Every structure is written in C-alpha cells, then in structure tokens.
Structure 1
Amino acid sequence: MVDMNKLNPSDAAHKFVNKYFPNCQGAVLAGSVVRGEGTNTSDLDIVVFDNSLNSSYRESLIDFGWAIEVFVHNLTSYKHFFELDYKVARPSMQRMIFEGIILKDEGIIHSIKEEAKEILDKGPERWTEEIIKTKRYFITDVLDDFIGCNNRAEEIFIANALAELIHEFVLRTNGRWIGSSKWIIRALKQYDEKFTDEFVDAFDTYYKTGGKSKVIQLSEMIIEPYGGRLFEGFSIGNGGISKKGSVI
C-alpha cells in the first residue's frame, strides 16, 4: 500500500529523480497534482530525459509514499510519441511536458516545452468530408442499435459507445483535441461548457432512468449540420451497389 504520510508531490518527485536518474538531462512533474486536481488515488507522472538511453520506456513503481509512473526518453524518442499522439488527436505527452513543473534541466526542457506548445496550439489535423461522412454513418448505426435495443445490459454498452462517438465528432469537427476516460469531459469543457452540461445530462438521465430521448436528440443534433443520419448509399472502398443492383 501507498504510505498515507507521503511527502508533498514536488519533494517526492525531486527525490525520485535524484535517486533513479541522477545523470539525466532533464525531468518534469506532470499530471493531476500539477493541475491542482489531485485526489487520494492520484499518482505522480514524471517525464525524464536521459540521452544515455537507446530507447524510451514507461514504468510504474511505489516510492517516497507515492505511486509513480515514469516516462523515460532520450532527446529524440519523445518526438515519436508526439507524432503518435497527434495522429490520434489525444496529446497526452504534449500536455504532460507543457504543463509539467521542471524538476531538473540542463538546458533542454525549454525547447521541448515549446515543441509541445506549438502542437497543442495548432490543434489536430482537420477531418476531411469523407471522414465526417464515415463518422456520421457510425453514429447513425450505433444510434439505431440504441433505439431498437430492449436488453438493458446491451443498451448500457451501446450508450457508452455512442457517448465516445458523439464526443469525438463534436470535438474533431470543431478542430479540437479529444480525450479518453475522464479526459472526455475535460476536453469537452475546454470546448463548450454548455454543450458539456447537455451531454452529461443526456447520458446521466439515461443511466438513471432508462429514458433515451435526450441521448437520441443530442445524437441527431450534432450530425444534423453535416447532413444528419446516414445509411443508404454509404460505402467504404472503391466499389458499391447501385440502386439497380449492379456493382459500381
């Protein structure tokens, strides 16, 4: 178990870096404790830059009374994770480094923070019309399953999938980063608090009462400006079937 008489986050993080990475070129403390959102179960997220390493790695351990997740990179490997995060529109590594409190710096952290900020400010790659069309189809398909389902156990997980799709569609069509888990709500709030309240209310109402109407209305509302529901005529790939039945 983690010691409840733990050191404060900054002291523990400094001790951790001095103990395990005394020769590193830089390190930052990131995560919920830095943002002032820490809870009793929060851990310390520490990003370390050590140019003696050939490759990056991630490790979890307990020390100094804290659960600690350490993300270790050399001075180029982090760029690969920047690229991966950019492609999926979830800039986790960029946020950690940009928001992070500097624990150690031998003249490298500032430029890496600037790289992270540039990506965060730029936003994710814009969706093409074809991608938007495909996402409309997926939302339509899951929404139809949700409406037609009368099995409560199945309904719950269809609703979960629909919530993920709605959050992604709203944020990506507006050029915003998306999230996962608790970051779904955080990402939505950064975009539009009023919409986030409607989103939470719709799904909270469903989970508490089984009432589907708010979720249905919300789903239809967010795709309506892009053409609404999509089923007939949608295809993926080079071919399709015409209304006459011939392959086109």
Structure 2
Amino acid sequence: QRVVVIGAGFIGAEIAATCRQRGLEVTVLEALSAPMSRALSPIFGNAIAKLHRDNGVEVRLNVEVKEIVSKEKVEYVLLADGTTIDCDVVVVGVGVVPNIDWLEGSGLTIDNGVVCDETLSAYPGVVAAGDVCRWPNNLFDGELSRLEHWTNAVEQGAAAANRILNENAPPFMPVPFVWSDQYDTKVQIAGMVRPDDEVLVFDGTISDHRFTAITGRNQKLTGVVGFNRPRLVIQCRRLIAEQTPWDQAVEMLTSSP
C-alpha cells in the first residue's frame, strides 16, 4: 500500500516512521522548508528529513496540497503545481488550535489559549491546565508558553490543583520535555527550543542520527535536542533548570570527557 502523510510535525513524522517499518511506501508532504520548522531550528528539521529519507521515505518540502481526490476510496493527492501522487491512504497531521471560542465574553483573557499568570490563575477562582493553558514560564524570562504534550498536562494539572488550594502557590516553572520514537532513533527535546535560537552541536554527528545539541538565547541555555543521547539530554535539562548562562554551559559540556 501507498501512504501519503500531509504534515511533517511530530504526529506526521511518527506515522510515517510506523508505516515505513510495516513495509508501506510512504511520501511525506510538508508546506514549509523543513519538518517541524515552526518549532525547531532548520538544523533539527533537516535532521528529521534525513532520518526519514535514509529509511526509504520520500520527503517533499515546500509543497502545497490542493486536493485529495477520491471516488469510492482515495485515489491520489493533487499538489498546487499540478503534480499528482497516487496513494491508497492519506493521513493528515497539520496541527491543532485550542477550542476556546466558547469562552469568548467570559471575562477570561483569550489569546491562542487561556492566558494565565505564572501560578496558572486565569481569573479569580479560575485556573487552567493542559493544551489550552498559556502562561509565563519564569524559567524562560516569562515567555508565554502553551504546550501540547501529555507530560505538561500531568505536571500542570497538579500545579493548578495546588493553586486552587493555595493562593500563595509558587510559580509553575517546569523544564518542558517531549520525545518521539522514529525507527531506531529516540528524539528528545527539553526546554524551550525556538527556530531562531543559537545552536551548538557538541556531541556526535547529525549525519549518523546520534548527536546532542544545545540551544540558547539572551546568553542563557534554554534547550537541548538529542538523537539517541538520553544521558546527555538529562544532564542538559538539569542545567536548564539551574538557569545556566550560555557560555558556562558551553564550557561545561565541551570540556567533559
């Protein structure tokens, strides 16, 4: 069978890997110049693309899907440039938006989620947690964050419950952590990683799908990305929690045996 995956974010990439491991012919279509480029530096997006190509997936970037053509079943995907891709299955993974329309006029501040303070309070007597919560994480200079991962929902739910019970609850300041298993590669990301961050690959090589890279901004270590490097990711996550300056983190990580 031939599978077309529309969207090369985490969901699309994981589905593509699973289908390929089952022996299916897979094509990934991505509108942007690299997978996951809304969230990560192109360095990491290109590494994801290479991982899939090395495993036999056709990855097409900078393409626009015009139509999914079907009769009794799907037949092909039509691109904006007129190209057609025959397929038996289409999987669309193009992201989500928070369901917040029903909260308009509620008195809550609504902006790409429910905006809260650093303790997850959205309004007197109202707290938020999970994918819909957008709050300033003081660990990253108060940058408003809205995270779509179950680990955040679990931690945030506990913190929100504590805020209900305690008006003097401490700020919610986690080091976000997500991972994705694709083929025999474990991709791990900790901290707040952004496309325009400074990036340093200090361990391994991207071409071998085994490396660790740190990211930073405003002269502070803010993130780590690891491919098959769990021990180093844990070490860097601890440094992020300690708000380690960038230069100090670079010295520590590059001078270690």
Shorter-chain TM-score category?
under 0.3
Question: Which of 1 and 2 has greater Rg?
Answer: 1
TM-score by length of 2: 0.25
Structure with bigger strand share is 2
Structure with bigger helix share is 1
TM-score by length of 1: 0.25
